[in-house]
């Protein structure tokens, strides 16, 4: 076989379906409810801080594992919110978004043959992350409508080869917020099998109806075996800045920093300065953000339900999983393509969130981190989607 081909590793996963939907959406001039990025402005003070940093010539490499003021701000915020002491010099590593934070963590802690437990439906990066780091993923299903897991199924996924479990709370795509009892059940297994929890908490501030975000690092005995992953992307609406971080026990930090160094050297220096301002925003910023998102959630749920989708109410994050079985499409991907091409609204096929695509065939994910006008436009376009019309296309 010619050597002018990609690696076996790269052949094991496909292009991101979410990014593909965004591309199709641009091509067809649709309303993008596929990719989770806000179409409204980021906080002014944070943008001003970035501009000021560039003008002040903070334009060269920052310290590889992160500018000290940002690492301190990350540690301070986590300790203030959750009461867990964090030493920035030993525990915080700034990366290029939580995307890099996750792959750097996986490559730093996993050896080929190690197993990593992944809840599904999952954020689509975790599969390729596992492949690239040589891990064997073990999937545990979150069952609708509440997206709970069966404790026996979870226990069966752990064994002596388990190196880590990936948790994402609040969860993309389901909006599930893991409860204390659930996190305790996971913690028991981590302690039993000496496994690490890698917890993606980038939606921690986007939470509804009085639900509470609990980091697994706060559960008894877990701060020493948890890597918490977060970023500026979602909390401050700056997904294009690519600034994220890990908070890890010192025993894992050295390895994470080494991998991070050779993957990217470091995150954008002026944007790290602006990150300090972002993390210093008052509590009222977060309260308003969450209530604004809750309003958008209610708006999009009402729109989708009016257009015959059955929605699972998200408790956090900014996505709605919707059931599409009533449209009589056998294939969620064909439905998503039809929706973007003929109706003009992009969503993500449910199958892209499951190891076994069959489990997601009756679902689509819509995001609502959008202006009211955008959601209203989606509403207008979805009017084309009448049940009989959808059946005709099929």
Ligand X SMILES: Cc1ncc(COP(=O)(O)O)c(C=O)c1O
Q: Which residues are near ligand X by CB under 6 A?
A: 36, 97-99, 123, 168, 172, 200, 202, 231, 233, 239, 244
Nearer to ligand X, 102 or 252 (CB): 102
CB atoms near residue 155 (< 10 Å): 15
**339 Cβ contact partners less than 8 Å away, ≥ 6 residues apart:** 345, 346, 347, 364, 385
* Strand, helix or coil for residue 175: coil
Write down the least CB distance from residue 288 to ligand X, Å.
Answer: 21
Write down the least CB distance from residue 259 to ligand X, Å.
Answer: 16
Task: Find the helix or strand (DSSP H, E) in which 247 lies.
Answer: strand 244-247
Nearer to ligand X, 125 or 351 (CB): 125
Give the Å distances, CA to CA, from 58 to 50, 61, 135, 271: 9, 8, 38, 9
Radius of gyration of the chain from its Cα atoms, rounded to whole angstroms: 21
Task: Find the helix or strand (DSSP H, E) in which 388 lies.
Answer: helix 387-393
* CA dist., res. 345 & res. 365, Å (int): 12
* Strand, helix or coil for residue 82: helix
* CA dist., res. 271 & res. 275, Å (int): 6
Which residue number has the CB closest to ligand X? 97
Nearer to ligand X, 93 or 231 (CB): 231
Write down the least CB distance from residue 383 to ligand X, Å.
Answer: 28
Write down the least CB distance from residue 97 to ligand X, Å.
Answer: 3
* CA dist., res. 174 & res. 200, Å (int): 14
* CA dist., res. 35 & res. 32, Å (int): 7
Write down the least CB distance from residue 237 to ligand X, Å.
Answer: 11
Nearer to ligand X, 31 or 166 (CB): 166
Write down the least CB distance from residue 171 to ligand X, Å.
Answer: 7
Residue 66 backbone dihedrals phi, psi, to 5 degrees: 120, 145
Write down the least CB distance from residue 159 to ligand X, Å.
Answer: 26
Nearer to ligand X, 123 or 149 (CB): 123
Nearer to ligand X, 202 or 382 (CB): 202
Nearer to ligand X, 243 or 311 (CB): 243
């Amino acid at each position: 076989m010619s050597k002018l081909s990609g690696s076996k590793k790269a052949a094991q996963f496909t292009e991101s379906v979410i990014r593909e939907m965004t591309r199709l959406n641009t091509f067809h001039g649709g309303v993008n409810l596929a990719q989770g990025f806000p179409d409204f402005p980021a906080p002014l003070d944070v943008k001003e801080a970035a501009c000021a940093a560039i003008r002040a010539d903070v334009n060269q490499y920052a310290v590889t594992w992160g500018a000290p003021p940002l690492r301190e701000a990350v540690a301070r915020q986590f300790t203030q919110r959750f009461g867990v002491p964090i030493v920035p010099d030993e525990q915080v590593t700034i990366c290029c978004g939580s995307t890099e934070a996750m792959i750097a963590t996986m490559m730093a802690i996993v050896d080929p043959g190690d197993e990593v437990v992944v809840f599904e439906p999952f954020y689509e990066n975790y599969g390729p992350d596992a492949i690239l780091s040589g891990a064997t993923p073990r999937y545990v299903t979150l069952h609708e409508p509440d997206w709970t897991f069966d404790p026996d199924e979870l226990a069966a996924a752990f064994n002596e080869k388990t190196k880590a479990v990936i948790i994402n709370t609040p969860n993309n795509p389901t909006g599930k917020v893991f409860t204390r009892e659930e996190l305790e059940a996971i913690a028991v297994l981590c302690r039993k099998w000496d496994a690490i929890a890698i917890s993606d908490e980038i939606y921690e501030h986007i939470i509804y109806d009085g639900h509470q975000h609990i980091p697994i690092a706060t559960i008894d005995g877990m701060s020493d075996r948890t890597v918490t992953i977060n970023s500026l992307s979602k909390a401050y609406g700056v997904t294009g800045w690519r600034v994220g971080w890990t908070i890890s026990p010192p025993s894992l930090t050295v390895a994470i920093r080494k991998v991070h160094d050779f993957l990217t050297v470091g995150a954008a220096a002026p944007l790290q300065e602006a990150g300090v301002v972002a993390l210093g925003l008052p509590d009222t910023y977060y309260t308003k953000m969450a209530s604004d998102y809750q309003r958008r959630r209610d708006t999009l749920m009402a729109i989708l339900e009016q257009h015959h989708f059955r929605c699972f109410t998200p408790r956090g994050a900014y996505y709605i999983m919707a059931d599409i079985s009533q449209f009589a499409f056998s294939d969620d991907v064909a439905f998503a393509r039809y929706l973007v091409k003929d109706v003009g609204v992009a969503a993500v096929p449910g199958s892209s969130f499951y190891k076994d695509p069959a489990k997601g065939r009756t679902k689509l994910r819509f995001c609502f981190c959008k202006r009211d006008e955008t959601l209203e436009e989606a509403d207008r376009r979805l009017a084309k989607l009448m049940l009989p019309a959808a059946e005709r296309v099929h």
